Amino acid sequence: MEAIQPYLPYIVQALGGAVGGNILGALTRGGGGFLGRTVIGAIGGLAAGYGAPMVLPENLMGSLNGLIEGENGQRLGELIVGAAGGGVLGLVGGLLIRPRN
């Protein structure tokens, strides 16, 4: 478990992004199918995890990471940020990447 500990925030953000991207991509009936929405969402989740601390106020990021006490709260905050980023990219991908039919 110690080997993946440094990468755990990125894994959680990508997972949240994949879920958020699939939900919003499916609602718009696009995004390159299930696999495309998963990839788009994971990229959006990682991008949000990287960019959110630079753009959002520090107290908002702190409150997201403090929803639950301890390390689980930090993971929940990362999951929410990843899902938001994946959802945004999933929505854009769903609107831009349409089925050929």
pLDDT tens digit sequence for 70-81: 888 888 888 999
Question: What are the φ and ψ backbone dihedral angles of 98, each rounded to 5 degrees?
Answer: -105, 150
Q: Model-level pTM?
A: 0.84
Kindly state whether residue 84 falls inside one of the protein's structural domains: yes
Give me the number of domains the chain comprises: 1
Kindly state whether residue 79 falls inside one of the protein's structural domains: yes
Q: What is the mean pLDDT of residues 80-94?
A: 89
Kindly state whether residue 9 falls inside one of the protein's structural domains: no
CB atoms within 10 A of CB 2: 5
Domain coverage including residue 32 = 15-92
pLDDT greater at residue 53 or residue 50 = 50
Kindly state whether residue 52 falls inside one of the protein's structural domains: yes
- Biggest CA pair distance of the chain: 49
Kindly state whether residue 101 falls inside one of the protein's structural domains: no
Is 76:13 a contact under the CB 8 Å cutoff? no
What's the length of the chain? 101
Q: What is the dihedral of CA 89, 22, 39, 66, to 10 degrees?
A: 70
